[in-house]
Amino acid sequence: MKKKDRERGLYGKYILYKADGSPVDPDARYFVLRLDEKGEPNHVQASRRAVELYAYEIEDSHRQLSRNLKAWISHLDREEETKLNSRSSKTPCSPSGATGTPHSVPTASSCRLSRRPCRDSATT
């Protein structure tokens, strides 16, 4: 994200249409979240936690959507975890640099709803 964008705060950045090309309700308000690992790491993790919370909140009313969202986040986390572990056999969250299994790398799912960072930037 450009410094200029960071300083702007909340502003209209996207133009949205429904998947079939029809316009959205002009009175509706939307907020777009980036979930893939190519976004800024702190934004990606915050976005994933937000989607996870949303998925849990709608479990009773929108069961299938909730399942789909949880599966999507889980898939993204596994994908990212695989990429991280293929780059190095050292666990990113291990201050001692000890090697670990892929399961020892915290992801957005394992840090669910916590305010702590999932990856220790000093050791990555």
Report the predicted TM-score, pTM, of the whole model to 2 decimal places.
0.64
Residue 119 lies in a domain: no
Closest CA to 36 of 67, 3, 77, 70: 77
Q: Is residue 15 part of a domain?
A: yes
DSSP category for residue 25: P
Assess if residue 111 is contained within a domain: no
Give 10-residue mean pLDDT values along the chain (124 residues): 80 92 94 92 95 98 98 94 77 43 40 42 38
91 lies in which domain range? 3-104
CA atoms lying within 13 Å on the CB side of residue 102: 11
pLDDT of the residue at 19: 95
